[in-house]
Chains A and B, each alone.
Chain A
């Protein structure tokens, strides 16, 4: 398993799918790229276990939310590129909304920071 850095948070169950879809919204990307993007965008707070990434990609692909195709990366390497499908977009919209609601609700329950 990955190292436990106190500044980093392991992903909640189910949130990885959401993040992958969100990342792919900006364009096709390969697995490593997706992992890096998530880490970068969360300013290195979110830790993506590369080992769990691929089963998640597999799952999304089987649900028809993403599509995959072999292609060439920026530095000329063969890689499998994932692309979000219309169904995936719809799913993302839905889940994003739900997530926001949940986050707000939990925030309210927990109260102001440091309180």
Chain B
């Protein structure tokens, strides 16, 4: 016994010494001055990170699919909270720290958006070129020669690596189409081939989704959606690295009042709308830029990003998965899909005994209580409320869209191109030239983009915002209205059941369920208490 006590003292001290000694390494290195360099110093090669190999892309998608299958089985078939926890930690390791949080389905939302930009990318289709006996180099040159037909062109690479980035005006589709119909003659007597057949054109306003998105991105975006339609949000349970890191820190979660959860849950839709708005207008990837955890996965990043990530994790100790519940735009997509899921995790494997233990076990407020018994509310009042809210849906949506249209011009200023165009325009109006007074205009003055093209691009982006902003704001208003309607619909519930939209299939409720406990005892050969089979 004495020996054990001694060990109990040693444990924290040893842990402290080991970790602190590693920390002192930092301070120790800080004391040394920078190394002196000899004259024959050869600067090290600084390679740019290589893209993920094709094989590893297949591996990533296969791992994702395997995690989804195992998570669904653990949540629905084996009802194993322990299994889900282990899977969560593995997902954190693989998708989080090993894959550094990228690709993730949350960010993939932006990549699969059709992007309404005014740029076309042309690259030779090596297979088509070879089929016609033409070299990719030759096709590249043929397109380069036609670069003069566009407002501006940037070329890079040669042969198969050739990319012609064409900045096109309103007439872009017609110009591309006309050049695409022009023919190029293969050597010999073979008939000329239309130039358009020999290239892959990523014309952002039209074909972004079909041609510009790697299949891995599509797979990462779609697989969790399919899994959710089949088995509920098992992706959130144990596959998503962002969920996993929050799950790992949720040590002492408190329960929020249900009404507050309903209100805060709207923010995820606002975030989704804003991210899609920016992605479709080519304004950047908001979700990736504001990802609170990617800096932690990469052990590097802007200080503010790391501090926000740490802050969210500290909050997550007491408020389980705050990002997943109130901000995650992918969660906003999964919520309605999960409602429609073919199968879903259940609290109890058998009849509910209404012990209410699961209610306190769920930190997400995702368990709906029975609403039978007690004095019934007047039916007429309920119907009137519902009818009024149904009328509100189109009115609110229209009002939201109108508000978006009203503010579209200002919202467009979030777009870097519009912001740059306005800064340049301001200097032009004031001084008649781009003097480079600000960082933005200085950078522009040093670039080779003509002013008129920048302004034209700015106007084109603004036109995209003119219709995309009302759509985004109308969508947010529609979500608010539908949420109000859903809270006015009375559904009879006899037992405790998970709210399919909010339930993350984390499995905490299994452990608290006496019926589940009894079944486990039965499986182990022990006799469960008889009263557990009774219902109230």
Report whether chain A binds chain B: no
On A, residues with C-beta under 8 Å from B are: none
